[in-house]
Each structure stands twice: as structure tokens, then as C-alpha cells.
A and B are shown apart, each in its own frame.
Chain A
């Protein structure tokens, strides 16, 4: 590595033209036919009429070209000192090669053998490999500190808007893919783009920009989420998944208060979601509802959330005196007790409340005022169906949960929680109400889950005990651990990944648990703080890492200025 930084060698001078050749080959190959069979992967068989997967390859190649021009060429002057083009090219070379190899595999799997791959596919693959090799030969360079890189305010806000638009477009496009292989390839493409953004440092710069325009970013993120249904053209397939993701995300965000902020391990959290759902179901106008009282939905919401919070208080008061593993065991038991109780309140083993294993089906659509959530509406020429209605309601719920989360985190109470996580004894000795704060986290978490549950009951149409099994609690926890404990963006990302991937990759369904198990083990080994790490968690998970602590400290000092 050390000689990479010094005088240019022959390998260095050769690398650039080689990379250019690679990029050219990928583009030329992508304009030619990749596959003999026109019926697979959205038709890759016509020369000079690239299919969508070929367009993705071209986009990646163009990205490579831009990076090469930053390395040596007209873009070097404005961008060369900021962007790490070499690392970006290395990431791109690797992911592009992976992409092309997967394309070859996909073609041969979907239409019987490599014989179906046309020359274009091979040309692009060779180009990708050339780019990979050349990027390895390029020298590493010294760069300037990105926190110094500033654009005018409007340009930075524009950057946020563009980023968000790209997210919206990408999400809509990826969800529109029905073929599993095409979806996987699209994921590789997204990974490639994200990897390049991270390795070149664009993401770090974006982090600084986001820090400067926090409100704009939040607003933009919600705008993207808001406009998503308008990209679906009235199709229910993706909107149904999206509402599932939102319920899951809102619940996970509630659990994030318990786990991420207060540091309590709750393995029975889904029971609170369940109690909200059951309250809503029992009070609904379903033919199978067991209580003959049908208050307006806002009252039902409060009752459901209140019931969950009360349960949280009842479970929490005795169990929060035990800590760590014991708490996990007790909450695990509570989750099971809840499920079994719902199973047995069937009129034979106990009072008739839940119809036992049959649950309460036929829950009618939500109606708030005169607005029926089952009706379709046409807004700006785009049809918004039943799921879109629930989607907007859930978005509102998610916003509320995030608001509660963020504001509690940044308050006297949030500081108390951190202190408890750091050193419970010292916190107590400094006058922090340890037990009270733990109970508070537990009850607030339960309340929010109960709130989500009341909507879930209507959206799912039916409520039954098998919706609230331990596995659901485990997945909620996995979303938090995967995404990043105590963060908002991380948990949203984790929830989306855990809910979306199984839906889109149905052919994996048998290996789903195996895959998630593996994923979590890998995460714990290599990045225990999650995909999006909160500073605090990073510090907590890397007690020994002095460099990290110093780096984070300098960021803190920077921000305080």
C-alpha cells in the first residue's frame, strides 16, 4: 500500500486506460443482446434496444466513467481533492462484476444453460472484470476533510431533494419487479450505488449536509413516503406490502424505546401489539365481535393503547426489578402467556372474548367520521385504493411514534436512560429514578404498540392468536439490532429489510429463518452497532477503540461550535 501513495509506477499509468476500456466494453456489451431467450428478465435479447437490466449495467458503467474522469481528466480539478475515486472504483468494479456474473447465472438458470447467453453478456462481463482489475492497480490518494466541503445552502438542499427523489424512484422501481432474479439483480445494483457513495465519501459529505439541514431532510423523507402511493398507479400488490412494512416499522420503533433507549431486553413485545389489536377487534362491528359496544375509532385507539400500557405496567412493575437475562426470560414468558390466554378465552375454557383459535374475523373497514378506508379515491388522476388509505394513516402513526421517540431521547428522561445503560448503580447514586424510568420506557413502548395494534386489526381484517407468536417479537428485535439500536433511520431501514425481502423473495421462504440467523450472527461479529450506528452505541460496542472515541469526540466538538 505504501508505494501506492508515492511515485507512479507502470501499473498506475496502465490502470486508467484499462479502466476506460472496461467501461467501454460494459456499455457496448449492454447495447448488444445478452440473452438468446427474449422471454426472461424483461427481454434482454434485442440488439441496440437495452432492457432494464442492461440499462442498470450502463448506469453503473457511466458511474465508473465519471469516477475515472475524477481520477484523471476534466473532473479532477473540481472534485479530485474531495472524492476518493479509487476506493469508489474498487467498490464499483467488485459489485459490477458480481452483477454481471449473477446476470449470467440468472440467464442460465431461467432458460437452461449458459448456451443461452449471447456475446453481449460476455463482453459486458469482461468489461466489468477489466474495471475491477484496473481499479486495483490505481494508486490511493490523500484527500481533504469532507466536513470542509460546502456548497451554497440551496445547492445542499437540492442535493437532499435529489437523493430523496432517487430513493423514491428506486423503491418504486424495485418493488415493481415481479421476477425474483430481476429483484436480486436490482438489489445488487442498489448495493453498488450505495457502496460507491460510501467509498467515495459522498455519503459522509451527505451526512454533514444532513446535519446542517436536519429539518429539510426530515421533511423530504416524509414527502417521499407520502408520494410513494402515487407511484403505484392504484396497484394493491405493493401497497399491501408497504402497509405491512409501516405497521412493522411503527411497532419496531416503539420497541426501540424499550431496547434502544432504556436498554431493556423485551422478548414478548408483540403481546402489546396483540392486546391493541384484540381490543379493536372486540369493539368492532364484526359479526364475531364479543362486546356489544362500538365507540368511535379514536376512543378505540385510546382504549387499545391504554390496555396495552396497563398490561405493560402490570408486567413491568415486578419484572423490571430483575435485569438482563432474567428480564428477557420473564418477557418471553409473558408473550407466550398472552398468546395462550387469547387462545383459551373461547367460552369453554374461559369467558367468551376472543373466540379462541378461530380469532375474530370479518373486521369491517375503518371509518373515521364519514371517511371509509375501504373506498378508492382518485387524486390528481391517480387511483388510491384501500391499502393507500391505510398507508397514509399508518404514516401518520409512524410519524407520531418517531416524534415520541426523538423527543424522549433528547430530554432529561433520555439522559436518564443513557445513564442507566452506562452504569445503573452510579445513576441511582446520582439521584436518577432508575426503576421509574425503566417502567416509563416499558409503558410508553406498550402504549405505542397498542396504538399500532388497533389499526392493524382493521387492516388485516382478522385477528387470531397465531399472529402474535414469539417469532414476531424476535423479528421486531432483529429489525432493531440489524438497523441500529437507538436510531430512527436504522430501525426504519431494518424493519423495511426484514419485512420487504421475505415478501419479494418468496422462493427463499423455506430458508428465511436460516438466512436471518446467519445475517444476525454476521452482524454481531462484524458490526454489532447495526447498519446505521448511533454514536453512543458505537462507543458502547467498542469500549477498547480509542481512535473511534477520539474521532467521535472531534465530531461532537465540531457540532457544538
Chain B
């Protein structure tokens, strides 16, 4: 793959493909929500997924993570096909966050992350009742790791806070920490900055770089174009369930079809985004000339 670098980040060298989705199609009755979408994510890569509302971004995510069983197509992870079961997907090393935050609201931040450790620990009913040294060790390790992850996302001081009491931005970060607790190789973030102010958005993008630097691959769905073009190594634009264009941020944002796709839907929100795409493009052009 050739990378024509227009963003601030230096041209990174990517490793082997982690996720290979080919021909993913999802049909709900008469509605073709996702049609023949291909996506390959390499080690250490940040891939953006954009598109107007209803383009099928979240549906595509759900197909990747096993919440939906795709009507057609295949998802391969680290070379092996993934069964469409959420648990198997997590076990294989792919974790996600949700567009509408789905934390365990009445658990503390620490407990939320500890639940994320579930699939990487093994104490069963007998061990739990007998409380041998193995149980204690594992329990202590789970706690330590959860605390480390909270520190990592910057919530180290909110350990005992209830998830439902936390500010919105913190809840988003907690969800990321919970996903990281499952030791993924690839993390899928569904609108991680929705509802955030510019400062929180900047922090979120720093956090995603930090996650990438720790050796993970990232796929991000976002509507915030500045955020996406600044963050991603590659961007995939979906429109009405189909791939409109895939390429570097520079290629995508200068493509007239992307702007058209956003304006074409005629929704207010999307128009804003289209305007954002335009503005960013213009700014870039001016910067070049």
C-alpha cells in the first residue's frame, strides 16, 4: 500500500494484517445495510470509518464483533476466520466500545474494568469458594491490572466512583479502559468523541495515539472530520452501506464525492459535517499553496 502523507504524522510502517474483512454484507429483510464492504487493518494502524448517518458504520462494526451474523462475507482475524459470537471475538483479541455508552452503570470504575478481565482469567466456582492461593493471586493481579488501565486512560483517581456518576467524557474513557482490559490486538471505537468539547476531543485523540503506540491497531467511527483526518492513517468512507472511497485522509477529504455524500442527504447535522469536510479541505489547500 502506498501512503501519500498529508497529515502531520510521519509515514508509519505497518506490520502484518490483523483484521481482514472481505465482502461483508448485512441484509435486514429488504434493507441492505452493509453491502460488500472490504476492510483490512494492519498492526499499529489507525483506520477511520466515516459516512453520513445511516451509512451502516455501526452495523459494519456489529458484523465485525459478532453482534450480528453477516449475511455474506468473511471476517478473518490474525489469519483465522472469526465465528460470529461476541465472546469468541473478544477472546480472539478484538474489543469494542459502544456509540451510546454501555457501561455497567451501578458498578465502580474499577469493577467495570475488572469485568473486562473476565475472559483473560479462569477462576471457576470451586476455586472461588475454596479461595486457594491461585485464586488470591489472580484476584490481586486482576485488581492491579485494572488500576493500571485506569491510570493509563487518566482515571486513576476515580477508581471507586460509580460509573453512572462520572462525567460524560470520563465514561467514554472508562469504556475504553474496559475494552483494553480484555487484552485486544485491535480496538474498535464507536464515536469516541460524541458529545465532547474540543479540549476533551484533543485528549481523546492523544489517548488513541497512546493506545496505538502501545502496539494496538485501532478502528474509529467518527463524525468529527478534523479529529478523524488528524488521527487516522487511512480512512474508509461508507455511503448507503457501500464503500465510497478508501484512502489516506488527504485523498478522502479532497474527494468531491465525499462532500457530495454528506450534502446529498440533506440532514442538518450532516450538512454541518459536510461543511467541516469542506473547511478542512480548503484550509489544507491554502496551507499547500
Contacts and interface: CB of A to CB of B under 8 A. Distances in A.
Q: How large is the interface on B (under 10, 10 to 19, 20 to 34, 35 or more residues)?
A: 35 or more
Contacts of A413: 123-125, 128
A419 B165 contact: no
A338 B33 CA distance: 47
Q: How large is the interface on A (under 10, 10 to 19, 20 to 34, 35 or more residues)?
A: 35 or more
B129 A407 contact: yes
Interface in B151-189: 159-162, 164-165, 178-179, 182
A434 B159 CA distance: 25
Interface string A401-433: 001100110011111101100110111111111
Interface string B73-112: 0000000000000110011000110100011111110010
Interface string A241-257: 00000000000000000
Contacts of B25: none
Interface stretch (A285-293, A346-354, A495-503, A545-553): A545-553
Interface of B: 65, 67, 86-87, 90-91, 95-96, 98, 102-108, 111, 114-121, 123-125, 128-129, 131, 135, 138-139, 142, 159-162, 164-165, 178-179, 182
A423 B67 CA distance: 14
Given A540-B106, A553-B161, 16 more contacts: A412-B128, A416-B118, A418-B111, A419-B115, A429-B90, A429-B102, A430-B95, A431-B86, A431-B95, A432-B119, A433-B119, A444-B125, A546-B165, A549-B162, A549-B165, A556-B108
A429 B94 CA distance: 10
A440 B125 contact: yes
Contacts, number: 122
A431 B67 contact: no
A536 interface: yes
A425 B121 CA distance: 20
Contacts of B111: 415, 418
29 contacts: A411-B128, A412-B114, A412-B121, A412-B142, A413-B123, A414-B128, A415-B118, A416-B115, A418-B104, A418-B106, A422-B105, A423-B102, A423-B105, A425-B67, A425-B102, A428-B86, A428-B87, A429-B90, A429-B98, A431-B86, A431-B95, A431-B119, A432-B87, A432-B119, A433-B87, A546-B165, A549-B164, A552-B162, A556-B161
B162 A553 contact: yes
Contacts of B162: 539, 549, 552-553, 556
A481 to B, nearest CB: 19
A199 B276 CA distance: 60
Interface of A: 403-404, 407-408, 411-416, 418-419, 422-423, 425-434, 440, 444, 536, 539-540, 546, 549-550, 552-553, 556-557, 559-560
